[in-house]
Structure 1
């Protein structure tokens, strides 16, 4: 019997205590390290097919792993740390980038407004997920959008108002999804000396508060502003400084910190946190929420004392699972919630091309939708099945005038030379399709047998070949195409357990020749080359 093998770099039987600031935790069956959105999508699809539980870890700076072993997959984003500039005051940051690395890049660019991120433990994905704040800064104030991967492998771009809901509260804390990238937008520039001085000032304050004396995850509870003062002050007044439970102890310098002083267990930390929470309710009348992220299988009694959400273990009702993104039974629940059509497979702005800063126009968004269930489409194979559309606030970015105009139906070879939105479908080691469209209704479709090898007979392509299988749509700032299952069916890969997977890639070339991508690539080739089927994104079709 073969053993399951994750489809990206991984380690097996990983001691989780070595991966978390607390130094606590059992062992994980797998820890995986995807390096791109495509690898992340392949991983979550593989994990669901294997029926394993899935959890996501940032840097471990806010994570308490359970003492029990984790018989599933822990996804680490440390392989996705790229940062590039997309505008004068705008950065695109992959979720695995350390907060300090973001602050240092802003310092290098002379951009002010992110100094508070310096030496803030954690990665930017986790910072966004919990709407972290400190020293007067808050991540929601500088976030222009968030790319989120669902457990089923769809990728969507969420606007700030869809994510942030107040103090240390986001929608991402309540829906299953993995933050893959963040668009950050700042308010102005500063001198390197001013920015550096503020960064060092924040570091000095952290050291003064003894944040790094012992293994910990910083603040254990979120502040409750109804109390009129921070949690640390409340716990100090209640006499918790120095209080202990097993190897866990409250910091003598900051009463909202629990340290791992001497081989503490997760149970020690939660027992102590539960005592603190109960005392705050009894003496102050306030209900506190744990800021700490619990991941794994814990005794239900401890989770309830700390107010942690959980799913009861199917085999032992005395235990509950917390911090689980996907697992047995969760796919069915997600399907029940998202079984309507059209179903969005991809939505978001083209991010530009890694290594070419500020070259691609901002605000150009693409969208890919499944219009009907796969089983229905296979029967009604001549009906629209997939819709691809592009919207642009600056359509002139695609509207250079060609020397030789298009055919009567708008079909035009080599449209990319004048600026076009592009969609590739298929790939691997086999054939694939390329589609292009412009805001003025010009379009192109070509079949390739391999990278840049046109199918015989399409050296001089014609729109007639695609009649009734491709419908061009444009108007009201949107342009694109719909495709029938009869056209795309041969490019849908069969999936383990049924269903199918659609390989695709959205990209664009502006009239000035600058390239854009979505999803973005790891180590993108230079000069730019979109004909790289091995890099295409794969999404599960319902």
Structure 2
């Protein structure tokens, strides 16, 4: 039976009401059931969003509630504290969509397991992914850690990384912005959450040859007894300056078979610490701290912890292992480690003051296009100068691509009722409250456009039943450049329709409709309706303006 969680909403009457995350969740969940190590206490909320829209709402909700937040991929590189976690741990396990963008390029949501990527590429006869086979983890975590093995490294395949910032923006990072070197990425410092990755593979290959390579990798893992007991794989990163792997250093120092409670150093790979039964997080950290100390004192090698500690731990154990933390304000002998948000909603990341223009959402659309929505000025400035351009929507095309077909026979920049019968890029803007009121804008690369207003799903708003440009022209500007097209919108235009943007939240959805009835969505939806219906404002991506 689940125990309800409560918060005080009136100190005068001490009224207690249950709080519920805005996505699928489990309360008082034993995180040991998800962690590879089989270690960890209960978590107040274990949340599994199924889309980036749900993920964005969840992060915003956690911040508003002031709860600590941590991230879980497959739990294959994480050591959770034995102490119960008083906040939210989010998992991408339900974000499993992937699609082929071109012959050798694929987009995978963060929750897809590494082995699924490898098996999919083998089935298609595409080389470059065999090293991911039986590599524990999901592709989002693999990107975050810049994982590597058997000569492969994820940075060599990634052509773009889609992330959700802690401020709520959904943006695409270039590989050079993300990957900083050996098992090191900017994501470890920014707190950005990987939501998906575009992988570009080197070429085609014989599926049987790929399968044989995958089996060779699996055999090597079995030979080294990687799967005998629960573990997180390598405990420490290699220090390449010393000229030998960490496992060899620990073996030479005599740590093979060393034990602390139920935690035992591997006999066949001395950089692995196994849970042979009943091990606690403290057992693992004690033996890891001893290993790191001995490597420095006896071998002169400083090693960096690869396993990520998550939760509240004794500070002396974190110090011994070299794991960063924030001191707990209620018990200075303990520290919080591995969190995206710390208790009371404090971020462990130092953020610069919001700068404009600020990208709100950015990502792929219709295979050869990229769409973005940008906030041009702050809410404060927009309220002072409401007729200035406030939001900008742009669709950029790859050179030489002609995606949005068929093309209407009409002058450039014409307002066309029924434009949805042609190849168009579309933007939906809602009020962020799932109340059903939203705007729809459509545009072609030649600048033909149409705008609609709705009071509910496909229910045209009063006064907007007949489509004309007059309600829009004062607050809307068309933008057509070489290789891109879009619109900008004034604050007064949006505020008029939404009766004020009081809490500074909007919801956004981009879409495309092209020849043959082919449609696409960004951000994508989990279990999108068939046939496609974009008019679902409750599924739009909500974002707080600044």
Please tell me the TM-score bracket, short chain as reference: over 0.9
Q: CA deviation at 1:460?
A: 4.1
- Equivalent pair of 1:129/1:172 in contact (CA under 8 Å): yes
| CA offset digits 1:95-124 (Å, max 9, x no partner) | 111111111111221212111111111111
Q: CA deviation at 1:457?
A: 4.9
2:526 to 522, 525, 537: 522
Whether 1:311 and 2:326 are equivalent positions in the alignment is yes
Q: CA deviation at 1:437?
A: 2.0
- Equivalent pair of 1:58/1:125 in contact (CA under 8 Å): yes
2:195 to 180, 198, 201: 180
Q: CA deviation at 1:337?
A: 1.4
Distance 1:386 1:99, change over 3 A: same
* Structure 2 counterparts to residues 155-304 of structure 1, below 5 A: 155-304=170-319
2: CA distance, partners of 1:208 / 1:409? 66
Unaligned runs of 5+ in 2: 1-15
- Equivalent pair of 2:67/2:86 in contact (CA under 8 Å): yes
Whether 1:500 and 2:504 are equivalent positions in the alignment is yes
| CA offset digits 1:121-164 (Å, max 9, x no partner) | 11111111101111111111111111111122210111111111
Whether 1:147 and 2:153 are equivalent positions in the alignment is no
SS in 1 for 2:453: strand
1:357 match: none
1:538 match: 542
Whether 1:101 and 2:78 are equivalent positions in the alignment is no
2:393 match: 388
1: CA distance, partners of 2:265 / 2:176? 36
Distance 1:477 1:330, change over 3 A: farther
- Equivalent pair of 2:67/2:345 in contact (CA under 8 Å): no
Distance 1:477 1:388, change over 3 A: same
1: CA distance, partners of 2:499 / 2:345? 23
| CA offset digits 1:254-299 (Å, max 9, x no partner) | 1000011231111111111111111111223221111101100111
2: CA distance, partners of 1:24 / 1:333? 24
Whether 1:398 and 2:404 are equivalent positions in the alignment is yes
2: CA distance, partners of 1:63 / 1:24? 10
Distance 1:478 1:40, change over 3 A: same
1:480 match: 486
- Equivalent pair of 2:405/2:423 in contact (CA under 8 Å): yes
Whether 1:66 and 2:118 are equivalent positions in the alignment is no
Q: CA deviation at 1:331?
A: 5.3
- Equivalent pair of 2:436/2:457 in contact (CA under 8 Å): no
2:377 match: 372
Q: CA deviation at 1:494?
A: 9.2
2:467 to 461, 467, 470: 461
| CA offset digits 1:322-364 (Å, max 9, x no partner) | 11112346557879514222221112222xxxxxxxxx333x1
Unaligned runs of 5+ in 1: 351-359
* Structure 2 counterparts to residues 114-133 of structure 1, below 5 A: 114-133=129-148
